[in-house]
Amino acid sequence: MTGEANAATKKQVKKAAAAATASESHFEQWKEVSGFIASMISKHGFTETELKATFKQVKHIESARQLMRPAPPGKPKNWKAYRARFVEPYRIEAGAAFWDKYADALTKAEQEYGVPPEIIVGLIGVETIFGKQTGGFRVMDVLTTLAFDYPDTPTRDARMQFFRGELENMLLMAKESSLDPFVFKGSYAGAIGWPQFMPGSIRKYAVDFDGDGKINLTDSPVDAIGSVAHYLAVHGWKRNLPIAFPATLVVPEKSEQLNTALGKGLLASYQLQDLKAMATTASSEAPTNISYGLVDLQNGNDATEYWFATDNFFAITLYNRSYFYAMSVFDLGRMIAAARHK
């Protein structure tokens, strides 16, 4: 959900986590933090004493800053290499076991939200390998670091605002659940639990799906299943709608017509008939009465793959704004379903 699958490789994340050092920062003395504390007091009724005491315990996490830096320019995107990291034998085997164990919860989620098991399982598999890699950073540390000391990038101001919002939600979530904010562990970007929800998403979209009276995305895979389904449903998932079909271009790759179609963004705005002028699909299963968007998956120096994507594909991109990510969820889910049928 945080885009980490795009920002850094698993190897980079593991290396950074192993080398992570938490340094004294005295965040409680920073001018920007004082302003944030004043805002939290005014908006939410916190006290200055409690917040200053909290920020006095926060550590600066330099590795989180470094992992937020964009990749060096010049290296072409490679869908096949990306896919190989996520659609691989271990995740497929673990996904089949997860599906078997939580089949009842997955069925219930599909009934309530319309999201099929293979998508929920595929997404949790891509995010954390079914709870194996949920992150070991204290969420308060990384959110505070990124909210007030984000690296110097073109999007620095916007990203700092985003993380300040998540820090606000983190403190509110801890207060609402009567928990110490420092008990929450997560990724280097502050994402939490099996589905890697940011604090704001936990407060808005997470559900108590196991019925125990609390939401726990770290220790309850059933809550994770229901929360993923609920999130996708809120963000445009449509019951029984297909996801994507492979396409073949009938126009040159750099044509204006093609560039216009690819520039529509995360939106299904064409009818199948409209797309036939630039691309076709060999699939006889592609309905003619729904909308599609044209998606390109670049393969480095090899040929680009093209797909007709529906609103459900784009719903996955609202979990993580990446075509590579959404297609990995789709592919991993399909492979896990196939493995179970064997």
* The pairing of beta strand 302-309 with beta strand 244-249: antiparallel
Cβ atoms of residues 170 and 145 within 8 Å: no
Alpha helices in 152-275 (DSSP H): 156-176, 199-205, 221-234, 256-262, 272-275
Q: Is residue 253 flagged as an active site residue?
A: no
Distance CA(223)–CA(194), nearest Å, equals 9
Nearest to 115 by CA among 312, 324, 309: 312
CB atoms within 10 A of CB 245: 19
CA distances from 131 to 81, 128, 249, 250, 252 (A): 23, 5, 39, 43, 44
**C-alpha angle with apex 111: 106 to 113, nearest 5 degrees?**
90
Catalytic position from the list 110, 118, 127, 168: 127
Q: Which residues are catalytic?
A: 127
